[in-house]
Amino acid sequence: MEHILIPPHGNTLVNRVLSEAHAAEAKTRLAGKFSLTLDDEQVKDVKNIARGVLSPLTGFMNESDFVRVVEEMRLADGTIWSIPFVLDVSEEDASNMNTGDEVALQDATGNLIAVLHVGDIYGYDAAHVARFVYGTDDSAHPGVAHWQAMKSRLVGGLIDLIDNTKEPYYEVNLDPAETRYLFKERGWKTVAGFQTRNVPHRAHEYLQRCALELTDGLFINPIIGKKKTGDFQDEVIIKAYHFMIENFFPRESATFSILPARMNYAGPREAVLHAIIRKNFGCTHFVVGRDHAGVGDYYGTYAAQKIFEGIEDEIGIKILKFEHSFMCKTCETVATSKTCGHGDDVRVPPSGTKIRDLLSAGQPVPADIMRPQIVEMLLQQKSLFVE
Amino acid sequence: MTNKPVQISEDLFIKLDQMATQRGVTVDQLVQEMLGDSLKAAGAVYQDHDEAKIKERLKSLGYID
């Protein structure tokens, strides 16, 4: 029987990576022309759009998509989409562009990344966006603060990617076309996607194993990118998951690849985006725990799970909803409040602060929080955290 | 490559059949011709998702044997 993979969001896997000949031609064509300099997170957006990670997006959003995404969580054509992908520019830069122009997009070092075919140039109200997308206009929220700091105009338009390099983690950075081939090659008809920003600990491992009990394959997909002080460094997360996959999961049913992308901390809206992205990678299932992609106390405990009510079928990926997991000293196993009847006094939650404090002091993390082999591997690293 | 039958709308088929008749070719030949022109015009603008290349990369990275 033919192996049918889940269709990408919008049914077409976007590919706007220019062929070598066209990339070379575009470089010549754009030399000396007006250009915009992108920050690292915008470069990630551009590459993700071109590689189909954000299918069906083919570029930065024009105004009709932007307005409907913000207010109704849908693209202009009605397709569900939860987070605006926009390129902000100054008034001066906006005045140098017209709809239909080709603009060079370069990174902070001046390297040419992509061509932007200028579409709409438009304004926006950051507070309005914040209230809809983040559910708050509190500038203490990092997503809101980001919008408040953005330049005053937005420019939409199609992207053509020139620089398709995948450094610095080329070896674990797969495109959706590649993960889809991989899943097919392994014969996985159902695949659970797992989003993380952390090194593997027992509580996450429990959710991963539960998900794998329900599916043919597990795809662990850590987000790599801009970090806060005290976060684990990207290479540490990659090494730890590589170790985990090699030593604790069956090779034939688990794999991992990174997702270089920005975190918006948009809670429920971001959970929807994360599910859509994993659908594009070929996942049929996606794990959503409590307070997925949240920050502070801005979202209700179950908001990131509730948001899928009524839209899960339309998105087309099955959401695996989990409670917080912890080690129960009485059950002597990892469990959730759904599977363990004991009180908080015997439950050991995977405290990020505790893990960080112990590792920073060169101390081992208790085995009921993190596997000793992972701890040992982590303690051998020169540097674990972003300073 | 397969030769599986595909479904298209009756209206589209009638139009294609009329065009093919005018040119003295079959509908299959007409579609091939149009596809060829369209690919030529596009000039393979984007890198293709060539399965052989994908397989090679996944193998070199150790994802598959």
Interface membership of A339 toward B (CB under 8 Å): no
**B44 — pLDDT class (breaks 50, 70, 90):** low
User: What secondary structure does DSSP assign to A198-243, as a single string?
Assistant: S---HHHHHHHHHHHHHSSEEEEEEEES---TTSBPHHHHHHHHHH
Angle A327-A333-A339 from CA coordinates, rounded to 5°: 85
Question: What's the token pair of residue A101?
Answer: 């122009």
- Distance from C-alpha of B15 to C-alpha of B22, rounded to nearest angstrom: 11
Query: What SS3 class is residue A334?
Result: strand
Q: Which whole-number Å values give the CA distances from A167 to A160, A174, B56, in the listed order?
A: 19, 12, 19
Contact A56, A14 (CB under 8 A): yes
Q: B46 and A18 in contact by Cβ < 8 A?
A: yes
The pLDDT of A316-324, averaged and rounded, is 95
User: What secondary structure does DSSP assign to A152-193, as a single string?
Assistant: SEEEEEEEEE-----TTSGGG---HHHHHHHHHHTT-SSEEE
Interface membership of A169 toward B (CB under 8 Å): no
pLDDT digits (tens, 9 = 90+) for A187-221: 999 999 999 989 999 999 999 999 999 999 999 99
The pLDDT of B4-27, averaged and rounded, is 77
Residue A122 confidence (pLDDT): 98
pLDDT digits (tens, 9 = 90+) for A34-91: 999 999 999 999 999 999 999 999 999 999 999 999 999 999 999 999 999 999 999 9
- Distance from C-alpha of B33 to C-alpha of A178, rounded to nearest angstrom: 31
The pLDDT of A255-264, averaged and rounded, is 94
Which domains, ranges and CATH numbers included, belong to chain A? 20-161 (3.10.400.10), 171-379 (3.40.50.620)
Which of chain A's residues have a Cβ under 8 Å away from the Cβ of B43? 21-22
User: How many contacts (CB atoms, under 8 Å) link A and B?
Assistant: 45
Residue B33 confidence (pLDDT): 67
B42 pLDDT higher than 50: no
| Pick from A223, A204, A325, A338: nearest CA to A271 | A223
Q: What is the mean pLDDT of chain A?
A: 95
Query: What SS3 class is residue A362?
Result: coil
A369 pLDDT higher than 90: yes
A251 pLDDT higher than 90: no
The pLDDT of A123-137, averaged and rounded, is 97
Which of chain B's residues have a Cβ under 8 Å away from the Cβ of A49? none
Which of chain B's residues have a Cβ under 8 Å away from the Cβ of A21? 43-44
Residue B41 confidence (pLDDT): 46
CB nearest A185 (choices: B47, B57, B64): B64
% of chain A at pLDDT higher than 70 = 99
Q: B36 vs chain A: nearest CA distance in angstroms? A: 18
Provide the ipTM.
0.90
B12 pLDDT higher than 90: no
Residues of A annotated as part of the active site = 197-198
% of chain B at pLDDT higher than 70 = 71
Interface membership of A185 toward B (CB under 8 Å): yes
Residue A4 confidence (pLDDT): 76
Q: A174 and B44 in contact by Cβ < 8 A?
A: no
